[in-house]
Amino acid sequence: TCMLLLHGTDDALLPVQGARELARESSQVRYVELPGEGHESLALRSDRYGAAIARWLVRGDGASCPDFE
């Protein structure tokens, strides 16, 4: 199963290193590190990331794991 993992570099609750390690564990993870975003701010930034996430979801066909652009 393909997974898009977005993680903010300023996340004080879940340190960014944990997300990096998780992403390295699977070729089916597309990891995007977001500078300056924290644990709570990321969920409030649909204005900034929503369209790109929607495009990624549409490009996924279930057989492949598209890169995040």
pLDDT tens column, 39-64: 888 778 888 888 888 888 888 776 67
What is the secondary structure of 10-45 as a DSSP string?
A: T-SSS-HHHHHHHHHT-TTEEEEEETT--TTTGGG-
Q: What is the pLDDT of residue 66?
A: 84
Q: What is the pLDDT of residue 41?
A: 86
pLDDT bucket at 69, cuts 50 / 70 / 90: confident
Read off the amino acid at residue 33: E
